[in-house]
Amino acid sequence: EAGVTQSPRYAVLQEGQAVSFWCDPISGHDTLYWYQQPRDQGPQLLVYFRDEAVIDNSQLPSDRFSAVRPKGTNSTLKIQSAKQGDTATYLCASSSDWGRRNTLYFGAGTRLSVL
Amino acid sequence: QQKVQQSPESLTVSEGAMASLNCTFSDGTSNNFRWYRQHSAKGLEVLVSIFSDGEKEEGRFTAHLNRANLHVSLHIREPQPSDSAVYLCAVSGSNYQLIWGSGTKLIIKP
């Protein structure tokens, strides 16, 4: 069974440039998460979807970040006008159930550097 | 708001010796505890999930949970150099959202 796939693996930008990250979750997983992981810190939830619906995007900086999952499968996270503070690894995860016992499966992440 | 702290920040252990990692949390109603491992340039891999006080073993990995002491630990039996990685603790409560610690960097010396 294929795992969670993310691309690109690395991105280097100048401040003010835009970038998109793509995620293909495990087949059949209805819940998809995007996390931001700054260096030497734990992941911080940005947004998560159940099917195509956004369930919680309260931690997503809405002025520059957007995320979509139009068909309830693949997802794209976009940063408009990147800032140096956006430098981090962006992780996508998926799960097949909900509640206390759901396990999140992660992709390898996209490492973003904003110069 | 839930706070999750891990200690030590870094740990070096000789191959074959037991490695013990600690995680404290602030919300005593938490009921979902996970240990993940993160190898450099790789995604997070779940090691052990525990939901009630006591012990849960998954192969060489054993988690101990004591909610009264707001503490969950991970013990790695007979660690190998390939176990060198960052180990992350994640905790959630009634809203099921995981709150993560900053990790312990574990180095296993041959």
* pLDDT tens digits for range A14-52: 999 999 999 999 999 999 999 999 999 999 999 999 999
Per-residue confidence (pLDDT) for residue A99, from 0 to 100? 66
Evaluate if residue B62 carries a pLDDT over 90.
yes
Question: Residue B35 in contact with residue B48, Cβ under 8 Å?
Answer: yes
Residue A86 DSSP class: G
Per-residue confidence (pLDDT) for residue B96, from 0 to 100? 77
Per-residue confidence (pLDDT) for residue A106, from 0 to 100? 95
Residue B52 at interface with chain A, using a CB cutoff of 8 Å: no
The minimal CB distance from B88 to the residues A42, A105, A107 is found for: A42
Per-residue confidence (pLDDT) for residue A98, from 0 to 100? 66
Per-residue confidence (pLDDT) for residue B93, from 0 to 100? 81
Q: For residues B69-74, give the mean pLDDT.
A: 97
Evaluate if residue A3 carries a pLDDT over 80.
yes
| Closest CA in chain B for residue A4 | B43
H or E element: which one contains A46? strand A44-50
Residue B22 at interface with chain A, using a CB cutoff of 8 Å: no
Pull the structure tokens for residue B77: 């039996």
| pLDDT interval class at B42 (50, 70, 90) | confident
| Closest CA in chain B for residue A55 | B97
Evaluate if residue A75 carries a pLDDT over 90.
yes
Residue A85 DSSP class: G
Q: For residues B83-109, give the mean pLDDT.
A: 93
Evaluate if residue B37 carries a pLDDT over 80.
yes
Hey, what's the torsion of the CAs at A47, A52, A55, A59, to 10 degrees? 20
